Amino acid sequence: MDNFKAIKITDRVYWVGVIDWTLRDFHGYETPRGSTYNAYLVMGEKPVLIDTVKAPFKDEFIARISSVIDPGKIKYIISNHTEMDHSGLIPDMIDWIKPEKVFASIKGQEALNQHFRLKREITAVKDKETMKLGDLNFTFIEARMLHWPDSMFTYFNDEKVLFSSDGFGMHLATSQRFDDELDPSILEYEAKKYYANIIQPYAPVVLKALEKIGGMNLEFRFIAPDHGPVWRKDIKKILALYQQWAEQKPARKALVVYDTMWQSTAKMANAIADGLIKSGISTRVMKLRESHRSDVIAEAIDAGALVFGSPTINNNLFPTLADTLIYLKGLRPQNKIGAVFGSYGWSGESTKYLKEMLEAMKIPVLGEIQAQYVPTEEILGQCWALGVKIADKLKETVK
Ligand code: FEO
């Protein structure tokens, strides 16, 4: 059978990953466009495999490698990251090809053993260590906490390829393998969504990593991540976007996130949004039962204002708000302002809980509005005025 062929990236580097067209959920992150698990084969006197794929995709992975060489001829495996979408087939590959060495970061050495209780030794490499493997030259770059302790980038010096693990990746299943073959607006959205949902909590680490690789004076002809397309055209752009996202500078943008039972909280959301829009603020309104938490996070990352609304149900928040706020808190958003609103029948605890959640994230709360049962014109006017107040604060603080 002549299927599942490798794709040539450079003279020596082949993509031997797999396409997961049906993935729709990655740890609670909605992936409507599926994903890829990228692995790479670097051909030389002693061929090197960089990462593997999720275990259920073994046949496709082996077929792609076999379209270039007999997998038994691979001499080294480099494991950039232990999470099982990339290391899932490391034990099988070790058993099968019996490589001379398997390399990982110091934390990767520990993590591979903790995952798989391997019967053979993993060779730990140091940050910025350069190594010649046959006639191929590599430099290992520790990327600790991007996004796991073990994360590492590997640079292939001979062809200036950065194998960047999860960094600069995205969940996007496509038949195309390179950035310049795809719609740039989809790439930017999916890269931003990936950054916002996976990398965001480690923004200070991203800034240090960018500074470190900048200081190494490496030229990148290709950035080859473990998900989504290989960057060969917009390399400067994706590096600049990571810099921008990691700096966490807010934009004059507001996100109004709510859920509703009988449209009262919805009316309040729309009145606040109208006040913001009238004041010239880029505004997005998202109802949670129609918007996945991971899309909310992608919108929230550059929003200077986050406004949350919830009805009170059973003396508490509407469950979708609790879900999204807990998720947001873990992602450690910075430099936001906020406000809260909600409707209730007789007890009205929702705004108190919303406020507590925002304050726990150190987001100052500019206003709190409640409506009993159905908002009156007066309350909707207060909502509109709250939108204007948030807009004024954004204009004052965001240049
Ligand atoms: Fe794509 Fe952190 O694994």
Domain ranges of the chain: 7-247, 251-394
Which of the four CATH numbers 3.60.15.10, 1.20.1250.20, 1.10.10.10, 3.40.800.10 does domain 7-247 have?
3.60.15.10
Closest ligand 1 atom to Cα of 165: 1
Most distant CA atoms of the chain, gap in Å: 77
Token output for 267: 């009316």
User: Is 183 tagged catalytic?
Assistant: no
**HSE value, Cβ hemisphere, 13 Å, CA-based, for 171:** 23
The tens-digit pLDDT sequence of the chain (399 residues) is 568 999 999 999 999 999 999 999 999 999 999 999 999 999 999 999 999 999 999 999 999 999 999 999 999 999 999 999 999 999 999 999 999 999 999 999 999 999 999 988 999 999 999 999 999 999 999 999 999 999 999 999 999 999 999 999 999 999 999 999 999 999 999 999 999 999 999 999 999 999 999 999 999 999 999 999 999 999 999 999 999 999 999 999 999 999 999 999 999 999 999 999 999 999 999 999 999 999 999 999 999 999 999 999 999 999 999 999 999 999 999 999 999 999 999 999 999 999 999 999 999 999 999 999 999 999 999 999 999 999 999 999 998
- The one catalytic residue among 85, 190, 259, 299: 85
Burial readout 282-292 (b: 16 or more C-beta within 10 A, e: otherwise): ebbbbbbeebb
CA of 102 from ligand 1 middle (Å) equals 19
User: Is 86 tagged catalytic?
Assistant: no
Closest ligand 1 atom to Cα of 84: 3
Could you tell me the CATH superfamily of domain 251-394?
Flavodoxin domain (3.40.50.360)
Give residue 273's identity as a one-letter amino acid code: A
Give CA–CA dist 132/339, Å, rounded: 56
pTM of the model: 0.97
CA of 284 from ligand 1 middle (Å) equals 29
